[in-house]
Amino acid sequence: MNIYVGNLAWKATEQDLETLFAYFGEVKEAVIIRERKTGRSKGFGFVELEDEKQARIAIEKLNNTVFLERTLVVNEARPKSDDDENDEDDSE
């Protein structure tokens, strides 16, 4: 299951996310979304856990918890919609 992790500290790394979520199960992937031009974190990322049951437990336990001095927003990631893609095109 793919999990959205928001309100990340700017200093958070993919390794930090992987370590945080590994407690709940096998992490397939952990990625922080970054600005294309600067490489700076956008303050959110995604973690994919192998097992859906473990992912749901991770969401329940980690949402609204403090990590690197920020209160995380953790929920099931929803697929990117066509509207999201259009919004990116408008900003350039």
Which domains are seen in the chain, by residue range?
A: 2-90 (3.30.70.330)
Q: What is the pLDDT of residues 19-36, one digit of tens each?
A: 999 999 999 999 999 999
Q: What is the pLDDT of residues 49-81, one digit of tens each?
A: 999 999 999 999 999 999 999 999 999 999 876
pLDDT for res 44 = 98
Beta strands in 13-69 (DSSP E): 27-34, 41-49, 66-67
DSSP 50: S
Task: Say which residues have a Cβ less than 8 Å from residue 74's Cβ, sequence separation at least 6.
Answer: 3, 4, 5, 6, 58, 59, 62, 63, 64, 65
**Residue 63 φ/ψ, nearest 5 degrees:** -60, 135
- Residue 15: is its pLDDT beyond 50? yes
Q: How confident is the model over 43-47, as a mean pLDDT?
A: 98
